[in-house]
């Protein structure tokens, strides 16, 4: 099996690939592949994707591993916070400097499940609709008339069944099965995952390709909430079918780093701003740039302080590196549109830090002019220092 190991945003030159393997990587749209004069290939992880995945198509197979620039321990904290769980980074998971992302997530999930299921499997009520030889619960009269034509039995019934085969357990089971099938999951983690399957015996896995079932946080499922959120991440970042080539499949775990960064920053900023009073609206769709309401605006975060007639702050988050000179012109255009429509004199752009980048302030022409504040967030720091940076940005947005 050919394995291609890359680092995010770092081209790997001299990679030995067949033409079919190069085509497979290109079709995945996870990396950029270009031929070299030597007959080898340059593979660049420039699509802001990280993770481990096995690509297969028409008999060809290749394992692709993209390591994030950010240390896995830091990335795990961002994921946990964005999913609404501050405790993820506190899980007793051994993370070494050279660990790949997938083994860390798999081990963390297995340990979380071990703790949660060690206190007993979760049970709950599930609504069941079926045909039965006896009446139980309520009769579905419309369905009975449509399917049975006046016959009394079998009866089309609906009832609430107290069972372990509920949404929470089905999500956990499906994620465990998924990670067991995934290349890169370590032997010790596989043993823990098999124990999860044993504990969840009698629970049905989710059918592939369907939306994940909804579950509601409650007092009863408190200890399951961390593994459930991680399971949802695994399942939503798991396997893919590509519309352009239905023979191409990717099995593994791939994260869109721009989405991780955006989710973390907006959630952390919203938490910091709500602590100062007022409300935050994420991906706010209330505003349009034109009178006909055909050009919808969707800023990442809009802040409205207590008692205000409308927004007083707007934020957009960009995973790409900030530029020292001139900024990203398209981002400035976008923020100018937000500020113009919302009637604001100032807007805020938040970038991930890169080498030598600094915070800036752009004064844009106009009457009145708009000032765009460019903030740079250093992710490669401990959680407390990172949240302190967020707090500083929140204060600038509020003021």
Q: Indicate the pairing of strand 346-352 with strand 370-377.
A: parallel
Give every CB contact of residue 239 below 8 A, 6+ residues apart in sequence.
Answer: 178, 208, 249, 250, 251, 252
Whether residue 317 is found in the same domain as residue 294: yes
Tell me the two tokens of residue 372. Answer: 């765009």
What distance in Å separates the CA atoms of residue 285 and residue 296, rounded to the nearest whole number?
A: 7
Give every CB contact of residue 10 below 8 A, 6+ residues apart in sequence.
Answer: 44, 45, 69
Whether residue 176 is found in the same domain as residue 155: no
Give me the torsion for CA of 306, 308, 312, 316, rounded to 10°. 60
Whether residue 158 is found in the same domain as residue 249: no
What distance in Å separates the CA atoms of residue 166 and residue 186, rounded to the nearest whole number?
A: 29
pLDDT score for 376: 93
pLDDT score for 311: 94
Whether residue 85 is found in the same domain as residue 174: yes
Whether residue 214 is found in the same domain as residue 345: no
Whether residue 307 is found in the same domain as residue 378: yes
Whether residue 250 is found in the same domain as residue 332: no
Whether residue 90 is found in the same domain as residue 116: yes
pLDDT score for 149: 79
Assigned domain for 269 exists: no
pLDDT score for 203: 94
| pTM for this model (two decimals) | 0.82
Whether residue 61 is found in the same domain as residue 90: no
pLDDT score for 331: 92
Range of the domain at 140: 124-163
Whether residue 217 is found in the same domain as residue 334: no
Whether residue 224 is found in the same domain as residue 352: no
pLDDT score for 92: 44
Whether residue 312 is found in the same domain as residue 367: yes
Closest CA to 116 of 184, 10, 199: 199
Element (H, E) at 80: helix 72-82
Q: Indicate the pairing of strand 2-7 with strand 60-67.
A: parallel
State which of 255, 283, 311 marks the end of a domain. 255
| Low-confidence spans in the chain with pLDDT less than 70 | 85-99, 238-247, 321-327, 355-357
What distance in Å separates the CA atoms of residue 208 and residue 223, rounded to the nearest whole number?
A: 26
SS3 247: strand
pLDDT score for 208: 84
pLDDT score for 242: 53
Assigned domain for 12 exists: yes
Tell me the two tokens of residue 173. Answer: 């089971």
Assigned domain for 270 exists: no
How many domains are contained in the chain? 4
């Amino acid at each position: 099996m050919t394995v291609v190991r890359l680092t995010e945003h770092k081209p790997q030159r001299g990679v030995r690939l067949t033409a079919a393997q190069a085509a497979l990587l290109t079709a995945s749209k996870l990396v950029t592949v270009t031929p070299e004069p030597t007959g080898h290939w340059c593979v660049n992880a420039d699509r802001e994707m990280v993770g481990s995945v096995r690509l297969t198509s028409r008999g060809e197979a290749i394992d692709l591993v993209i390591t994030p620039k950010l240390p896995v321990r830091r990335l795990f904290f961002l994921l946990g916070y964005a999913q609404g769980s501050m405790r993820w980074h506190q899980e007793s998971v051994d993370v070494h400097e050279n660990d790949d992302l997938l083994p860390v997530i798999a081990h963390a999930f297995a340990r979380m499940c071990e703790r949660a299921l060690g206190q007993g499997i979760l049970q709950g009520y599930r609504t069941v609709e079926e045909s039965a030889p006896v009446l139980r619960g309520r009769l579905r009269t419309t369905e009975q008339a449509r399917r049975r034509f006046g016959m009394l039995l079998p009866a089309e019934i609906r009832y609430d069944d107290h069972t372990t085969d509920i949404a929470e357990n089905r999500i956990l089971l499906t994620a465990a099965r998924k990670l067991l099938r995934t290349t890169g999951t370590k032997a010790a983690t596989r043993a823990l995952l098999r124990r999860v399957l044993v504990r969840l015996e009698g629970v049905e896995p989710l059918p592939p390709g369907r939306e994940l079932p909804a579950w509601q946080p409650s007092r009863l499922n408190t200890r399951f909430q961390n593994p459930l959120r991680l399971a949802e991440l695994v399942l939503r970042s798991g396997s893919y079918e590509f519309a352009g080539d239905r023979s191409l499949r990717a099995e593994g775990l791939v994260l869109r780093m721009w989405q991780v960064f955006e989710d973390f920053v907006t959630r952390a900023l919203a938490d910091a701003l709500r602590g100062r009073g007022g409300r935050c609206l994420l991906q706010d769709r209330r505003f349009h740039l034109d009178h006909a309401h055909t050009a919808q605006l969707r800023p990442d975060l809009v802040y409205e302080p207590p008692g205000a007639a409308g927004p007083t702050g707007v934020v957009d988050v960009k995973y790409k590196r900030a530029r020292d000179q001139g900024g990203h012109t398209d981002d400035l255009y976008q923020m100018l549109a937000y500020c113009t429509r919302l009637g604001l004199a100032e807007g805020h752009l938040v970038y991930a830090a890169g080498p030598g980048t600094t915070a800036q302030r752009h004064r844009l022409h106009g009457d009145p002019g708009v000032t765009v504040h460019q903030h740079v967030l250093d992710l490669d720091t401990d959680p407390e220092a990172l949240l302190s940076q967020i707090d500083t940005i929140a204060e600038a947005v509020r003021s």
